[in-house]
Amino acid sequence: MKKSLLLFFVLTTLLLRHTSAQTTQSEGKAKASFSNPLPIQFGDPYILHTKDMYYMYGTGGGADKGFSAYSSKDMVNWKPEGQVYYHNNKNGWSDPKASWGGAYWAPEVYEVKGKFYLFYSAQWKVNPTKELENFRIGVAVSDKPTGPFVDLSSKPVFDPGYPVIDANVFFDTNGKAYLYFSRCCYKHPVKSEIADLAKKNGWFNEIEESWVYGVELKPDFSGVIGQPVLVLRPPVRLSDKQAEWESRSVTAREVNRRWTEGSVTFKKDNLYYIMYSANHFGGQNYAIGYATATSPLGPFRKAANNPVLQKNTDKGGSVTGTGHNSVTYSPDGKEMFCVYHARTAKTGDERVVCIDRMQVKNGIITISGPTTTPQKLPSGTPTATAGSQSKGE
């Protein structure tokens, strides 16, 4: 009897140790990698990195006529911070009763001299002609990245006379700041060979387009300096190598619009890069391209390897609608990441956040994505460093 009990305890102990070891190994593997999509339902994701913390902002995500945020130490595990901007702050200028719930879209937050500035687009309540799309760009400020953000003024940053969305601010090395934005397709029919083709084939009578502009910002963000400069637009001629991928929403007969939107600008090795998204944001063909220039307002030349991120379903993958990206870096600053929204077979129509590594070399951007398989953690995270050490690397 004693021998039986002893044998039972020995076997039980060995089994528990084996199970514990398996659990530890599984946890180690889980912590040493991440997979897309992240568990965040944002459109237009933007990441701010400040004081060893990452903060993510985006469209939707449960915010009620405003914006919410998430925080993270490693870009992979995110904590909800709740709503950080409300439309009804003391200087609120938007109309929450307008179409699309006021259209609180594409927030981006920048740290300047200890303050945090949130740029965004929304429906302007000043709308005497009752336009369906009356979007403008606003800016709000807070002492913390988690808000609460209060509008700097009771009106948009500026009024170009047409609807604008997707604000992105670039701070140049000479201290100047530039605002990039997208003029909406709304009531903006444009003559082009694709428009002629669409009409000839009976697809659409006209093709509306959105174009990206850039303009210098006043140092206090109270307005702009000079007139906006057109920096990007869809191709006019079908022979243009960019025409095929930037016209897919039209050739697929999705909608009579061609978009150039969701831009993000950065500088590397004295070259200015502007990334942008084309095609219908609600469709499968939403994709990312880029252009380069030697000055912040161009002229920009689109890259020969566009698009650099697009759906992978034609290659057996499950990701579509890849677009409206921002750019961020790993904790140690050695790796560059493209942060974007997409849809997957599992997430359906919900836009979810993905991050994939990107490289910029000799004027060429490449993105290692879209991915849904396990990836190494961003370099410089404690877990990634520990994992590398344990492997003797």
Residues belonging to the active site: 44, 261
Cα–Cα distance measured from residue 276 to residue 170, given in angstroms and rounded to the nearest whole number: 14
The answer to whether 248 and 279 have CB atoms below 8 angstroms apart is: yes
